Amino acid sequence: MEPTAANADLQRAAKDHLWLHFTRHGVYRDHDVPVIVKGEGAYIWDSNGRRYLDGLAGLFVSQLGHGRTELADAAAKQAKELAFMPLWSYAHPSAIELADKVASHAPGGLNRVFFTSGGGEAVETAWKLAKNYFKLTGKPMKHKVISRTIAYHGTTQGALSITGLPLLKQQFEPLVPSTFRVPNTNAYRAAEMTGGLLDGSDPEAFGRWAADQIAVAIENEGPDTVAAVFLEPVQNAGGCFPPPPGYFQRVREICDEYDVLMVSDEVICAFGRLGHMFGAERFGYEPDIITCAKGITSGYAPLGAMIAQDRLMEPFLEDGAMFAHGYTFGGHPVSTAVGLANLAIFEEERILEHVRDNEGAFRSTLERLLDLPIVGDVRGEGFFYGIELVKDKATRETFTDEECERILFGAVSKGLFAEGLYCRADDRGDPVVQLAPPLICDQSHFDEMEQVLRVVLDKAYALL
Ligand code: PLP
């Protein structure tokens, strides 16, 4: 960091008072905390004036990029007019209008929008709704949740219980009981996952197998006890696992057969990330509930939502009935006003079309990296990609824990930032680099990402 007095004060205060999220604070005993001070378009700047390409849209959030005055103005206008009103028995216009807008985009009968402050709260809300709905409709034992291995669904105790990452959970056990894991759709590791039964060369067969594991889990737990299955359209943790063809159609059949609610956790995949308003639309399925957040405001204010099928609200429309659940800041007027302005820009600037028109170019630019010996797999959809790193491409041998520390977090993560690319190295499954740039990016940004990755990954391989 530049040794100016202001920077020194910021560093001191950051180190003494700010508790960062998911951060090894020990790292900052001898190093500066990176401080990001400004954003414009697809770029961010740190307090030293260095520029970085925002290859992760913040955290899968900044769909329209940084520095959009229209969104800042929408927030200011709303704050001046009505800064706060909760959605507890009262409504306010921007929440009503955004609910109407979101419902108009959501598939089929997904017409009821319950706002939250973020994604984890949306996941909590969906689980509570599933339990409450079945209690009111004569199946009071249905309460359990099935989700997929390595999937991330949030940090609150219910959402964390649904999360399939044991290392994230162990410090907080016991969590909310009654959640169970089934395999994800990691086609690159199909042989290991299926015990050699399938090798991933027949995607339909692998998808059928993976979906059928949900039916097996429901049978094992007892269909009368299972309320919901939570799945992302493209699973993020583990490095972008798209669904094999037919996967979600088979999951839909299973959910219908066992009367289990299908929850599409679209906290990342909604609002253009996959070139559609909702990921479910991209893959042609209609869930019972969608959870979303992040891109709904492009990050100019915090907001999340649970979108439910009409039939799930019906029991709550009876006299005296109530879904006894809510958040003070869920559907905050400033956030919903920003959400409306955000979706208006999506239409004006044809953001979904832009992603669909450019996703092929993004894919083929990243696939150029497959010539590097350390790049095992490049996978994803839309503007959402994971690059899996391997020690040996032929055997698909992955890194040891020591190599993850030294190569992934040492060389790759630090190297990318030093070379001007902000993105994420992740070892929650096998080691991956995750890319999810703002949806306004074009070929020049794709090339920049590829060039930085090529330099850094090449150097990293030499250290293996
Ligand atoms: N669900 C999914 C699929 C997510 O990716 C996330 C966050 O990244 C969450 C839930 C939790 O969202 P939040 O951090 O807004 O609580």
| pLDDT tens string 336-380 | 999 999 999 999 999 999 999 999 999 999 999 999 999 999 999
Tokens, residue 156: 């609150």
- Interior angle at CA 238, CA 173 and CA 436, nearest 5: 115
Our measurement of the distance from residue 158's CA atom to the centroid of its chain's CA atoms, rounded to an integer in Å, reads 17
Q: Which residues line ligand 1 (CB under 6 A)?
A: 118-120, 123, 152-154, 232, 236, 265, 267-268, 293, 304
191 and 339 belong to one structural domain: yes
Our measurement of the distance from residue 312's CA atom to the centroid of its chain's CA atoms, rounded to an integer in Å, reads 24
How far apart, in Å, are the Cα atoms of 8 and each of 15, 21, 32, 39?
11, 22, 10, 21
CATH number (domain holding residue 253): 3.40.640.10
d(CA 308, CA 115): 11
122 and 246 belong to one structural domain: yes
Is 5 domain-assigned?
no
Of 348, 364, 388, which residue is a domain's last? 348
Residue-wise pLDDT for 191-230, tens only, equals: 999 999 998 899 999 999 999 999 999 999 999 999 999 9
CATH number (domain holding residue 410): 3.90.1150.10
Range 29-67 burial, b when 16+ CB lie within 10 A, else e: eeebbeeeeebebbbbebbeeeebbbbbbbebbbbbbbe
d(CA 266, CA 248): 14
pLDDT band at residue 3 under the 50/70/90 scheme: low
Element (H, E) at 140: none
119 and 245 belong to one structural domain: yes
Is the pLDDT higher at 353 or at 409? 353
pLDDT of residue 200: 85
297 and 378 belong to one structural domain: no
* Residue 2 confidence (pLDDT) above 80: no
- E strands along 302-431, which residues? 304-309, 375-381, 384-389, 421-422, 424-426
- Interior angle at CA 104, CA 332 and CA 83, nearest 5: 15
Please state the rounded mean pLDDT for residues 293-319. 98
110 and 58 belong to one structural domain: no
Is 154 domain-assigned?
yes
46 and 177 belong to one structural domain: no
220 and 257 belong to one structural domain: yes
Q: Kindly give the number of the ligand 1 atom that is closest to the alpha carbon of 151.
A: 3
Q: In what order do the strands lie in the sheet with 179-182?
A: 110-116, 304-309, 289-292, 261-265, 226-231, 144-148, 179-182
Please list the residues that pair with 387 across neighbouring strands. Answer: 378, 433
265 and 123 belong to one structural domain: yes
Strands 226-231 and 144-148: parallel
* Cβ contact 443:364 at 8 Å: no
255 and 395 belong to one structural domain: no
Residue 435 belongs to what domain range?
34-64+350-463
Residue-wise pLDDT for 220-253, tens only, equals: 999 999 999 999 999 999 999 999 999 999 999 9
Is 26 domain-assigned?
no
Sign, CA dihedral 435-439-441-447, equals positive
189 and 82 belong to one structural domain: yes
* Residue 1 confidence (pLDDT) above 60: no
- Please tell me the distance between residue 267's alpha carbon and the centre of ligand 1 in angstroms: 6
54 and 76 belong to one structural domain: no
Count Cβ atoms within 10 A of the Cβ of residue 280 and give its class: 0-12 exposed, 13-18 middle, 19 or more buried.
Answer: buried
Q: Ligand 1, atom 12: nearest CA belongs to which residue?
A: 119
Q: Ligand 1, atom 7: nearest CA belongs to which residue?
A: 154
Cβ count within 10 A of residue 313: 16
Please state the rounded mean pLDDT for residues 309-335. 98
Is 16 domain-assigned?
no
- Please tell me the distance between residue 94's alpha carbon and the centre of ligand 1 in angstroms: 24
Is 174 domain-assigned?
yes
Residue-wise pLDDT for 60-117, tens only, equals: 999 999 999 999 999 999 999 999 999 999 999 999 999 999 999 999 999 999 999 9
- Please tell me the distance between residue 196's alpha carbon and the centre of ligand 1 in angstroms: 33
* Cβ contact 145:227 at 8 Å: yes
* Cβ contact 391:397 at 8 Å: yes
Mutational test site, ligand 1, from 22, 56, 59, 153, max ligand atoms within 8 Å of CB: 153
Of 331, 348, 365, which residue is a domain's last? 348
215 and 153 belong to one structural domain: yes
d(CA 57, CA 296): 13
- Please tell me the distance between residue 156's alpha carbon and the centre of ligand 1 in angstroms: 10
d(CA 162, CA 144): 10
- Which residues have a Cβ under 8 Å from the Cβ of 243 and sit 6 or more positions away? 185, 207, 233, 234, 283
Is 18 domain-assigned?
no
Is 231 domain-assigned?
yes
Is 3 domain-assigned?
no
- Please tell me the distance between residue 162's alpha carbon and the centre of ligand 1 in angstroms: 12
The count of structural domains within the chain is 2
Q: Kindly give the number of the ligand 1 atom that is closest to the alpha carbon of 294.
A: 15
Of 308, 332, 348, which residue is a domain's last? 348
Q: pTM score > 0.85 for this model?
A: yes
